[in-house]
């Protein structure tokens, strides 16, 4: 995960969703591992490459759902260390969750290791391809939809920066920032994976001007849903998963 202000190179999206786990009243700070000077130096010299991670686990009465970004080149924080702190923060039983959480993270990171080279190669090309990003996010009763093209080779605007700008422009809550950034990272991962064989097959875009008739198809939409609309959307999404 990612953070720029503290010793950990991982930042977790809020809020975590844990059904069956009561929120405990914090009487002490989480016992985070303090980094040595050598570890801090190593961390500051390491390149950053954020990848999306989802944790979805069910144990007895526990139903855990969380998503966050992980710096796949982090040389300091291991999935096991993160899982231990995660369980302490949420008061989860370590025996049930530490191994399951860390294993889930490791599996996802292993599946994305080879995408780093693809991303670096695309960034170095003169004409990088654009890919389609589609957002359909629901937090509470607010639904955010949008679609746009993303230049795979550009490095000036990060998904995190874009998410903050989009959320501010639309006047939606800060919870959407993490969800937008995570959704973009997930779709960039899918596009990079498709390009593992030959990323040059994707055609670059030389002109980004669209016809006015397409404006509605490429504009963000924010909808406040009623209870009936929420139920219908939930049913439609469950049906699509099946």
Paired sense of beta strands 142-151 and 130-139, if any? antiparallel
pLDDT at residue 39 in the model: 82
Q: Please tell me whether the overall predicted TM-score, pTM, comes out greater than 0.75 for this model.
A: yes
* Residuewise pLDDT in 10s, the chain (242 residues): 554 444 444 545 554 555 544 454 454 566 677 788 888 888 788 888 999 999 999 988 899 999 999 999 998 899 999 999 999 999 999 999 999 999 999 999 999 999 998 898 888 887 788 899 999 999 999 999 999 999 988 889 999 999 999 999 999 988 999 999 999 999 999 998 888 766 555 665 666 677 788 888 889 999 999 999 999 998 888 888 76
pLDDT at residue 30 in the model: 64
pLDDT at residue 216 in the model: 84
pLDDT at residue 28 in the model: 54
Q: What is the 3-state secondary structure (H, E, C) of the chain?
A: CCCCCCCCCCEECCCCEEECCCCCCCCCCCCCCCCCHHHHHHHHHCCCCEEEEEEEEEECCEEEEEEEEEECCCCCCCHHHHHHHHHHHHCCCHHHHHHHHHHHHHHHHHCCCCHHHHHHHHHHCCCCEEEEEEEEEEECCEEEEEEEEEECCCCCCCHHHHHHHHHHHHCCCCHHHHHHHHHHHHHHHHHHHHCCCCHHHCCECCCCCCCHHHHHHHCCEEEECCHHHHHHHHHHHHHHHC
């Amino acid at each position: 995960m990612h953070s720029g202000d503290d010793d950990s190179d991982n930042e977790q999206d809020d809020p975590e969703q844990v059904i069956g786990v009561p929120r405990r009243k914090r009487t002490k700070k989480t016992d985070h591992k303090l980094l040595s000077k050598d570890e801090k130096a190593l961390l500051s010299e390491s390149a950053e490459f954020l990848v999306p991670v989802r944790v979805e686990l069910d144990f007895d009465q526990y139903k855990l759902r969380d998503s966050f970004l992980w710096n796949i080149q982090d040389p300091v924080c291991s999935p096991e260390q993160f899982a231990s702190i995660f369980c302490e923060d949420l008061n989860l039983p370590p025996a049930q969750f530490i191994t399951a959480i860390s294993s889930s993270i490791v599996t996802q990171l292993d599946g994305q290791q080879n995408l780093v080279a693809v991303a670096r190669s695309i960034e170095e090309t003169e004409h990088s391809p654009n890919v389609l990003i589609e957002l359909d996010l629901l937090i509470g009763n607010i639904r955010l939809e949008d679609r746009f093209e993303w230049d795979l080779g550009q490095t000036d605007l990060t998904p995190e920066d874009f998410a903050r700008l989009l959320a501010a422009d639309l006047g939606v809550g800060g919870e959407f920032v993490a969800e937008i950034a995570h959704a973009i990272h997930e779709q960039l991962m899918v596009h990079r994976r498709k390009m593992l064989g030959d990323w040059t097959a994707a055609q670059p875009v030389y002109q980004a001007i669209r016809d006015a008739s397409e404006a509605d198809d490429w504009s963000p939409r924010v909808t406040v849903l009623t209870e009936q609309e929420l139920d219908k959307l939930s049913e439609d999404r469950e049906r699509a998963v099946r």
